[in-house]
Amino acid sequence: MKPLIVANWKMNPQSLDEVRRLFNSIKKGIKKIKNLEMVICPPFPYLLVIKLYSHKAIKLGAQDCFWEEKGAFTGEVSAVILKNIGCQYVIIGHSERRRYFQETDEIVNKKIRAALKIKLNPIFCIGETQTERDKGQTQAVLKKQLTLGLKDISKSQIEDVKFFIAYEPVWAIGTGNPCSVEEAMSAAIMIRKIITSLFSFSISKKIRIIYGGSINRKNSANYIKEAKMDGLLVGGASLEAKELISIIKSVS
């Protein structure tokens, strides 16, 4: 299976010119690369801009969505709107949303269900904080996030999309302190076991697990080749075309 590389630009860059430059450099850099799936998740206003610059190897993704389809929800963007403008992926439950916008597991669940309803591919983020890890709670945290996040979701809904779980330990995000290959592997094993107990072995095999947190050109290949993750969620490094292209080349 081709690895998935997700560029999460977060609230960057600040101008259209920078978006154009960054996108064009990425586009040039990945010209000959075929054996991976690339998704760019820019801030909402840039989604259509990137769509216009379009490149068949680069898919459009959003950083979040709202669970209602339409109506009086000032400031929100629904999964339906995203799908209708050409988005194929949506990040849901990122730790920054959980932390700064008080997103609970219940909210995350509503958003995942909204995405699944219209077959928008979810990238469902989970992961423990440093304190939780220190207390030996990693498995319990992952179990809670998965159980509540996937509540009332059927096997067939998962089978209908490309379903990604991003293991993103909070302590590794934006810190320059990535999780080790062994830690990523052991988290992936825990996640597969939990998914198997919630659904079935065949669903667990169908769900793809990617890693995110302080990815750079030096560590990227390890997660794919050694930890056998199905892809990477890249934050800071995805804002530098050279770095992102090196990451892509290291895993393709």
**Which residue numbers are catalytic?**
94, 168
Torsion of CA 1, 228, 155, 157, to 10 degrees: -60
Closest residue to ligand PGA, judged by C-beta, is: 235
Q: Given the complex with ligand PGA, which of 37 and 168 has the nearer CB atom? A: 168
Residue with smaller CB distance to ligand PGA, 115 or 234: 234
Give strand ranges (E) for 129-250: 164-167, 208-212, 231-234
If binding is defined by CB under 6 A, does position 212 make contact with ligand PGA?
A: yes
Cα 234 from Cα 155, distance rounded (Å)? 28
CB of 10 to ligand PGA, least distance (A): 7
Q: Is 63 in the site for ligand PGA (CB under 6 A)?
A: no
104 in Cβ contact with 159 (< 8 Å): no
Tokens representing 187? 């988290």
Identify the DSSP state of 103: -
Stretch that binds ligand PGA, among 35-43, 137-145, 199-207, 231-239 (CB under 6 A): 231-239
CB 210 within 8 A of CB 168: no
The residue from 122, 127, 149, 235 that contacts ligand PGA (CB under 6 A) is 235
Distance separating alpha carbons of residues 199 and 114, to the nearest angstrom: 19
Among 63, 109, 214, 219, binds ligand PGA (CB under 6 A): 214
The interface with ligand PGA within residues 136-195 (CB under 6 A) comprises 168, 173-174
Structure tokens at 19: 């978006």
Residue among 41, 90, 150, 215 that touches ligand PGA (CB under 6 A)? 215
Q: Among 3, 93, 213, 231, which residue sits at the site for ligand PGA (rule: CB under 6 A)?
A: 213
Q: Which residues pair with 39 in a beta bridge?
A: 6, 59
* Interacting residue ranges for ligand PGA, rule: CB under 6 A: 8, 168, 173-174, 212-215, 233-237
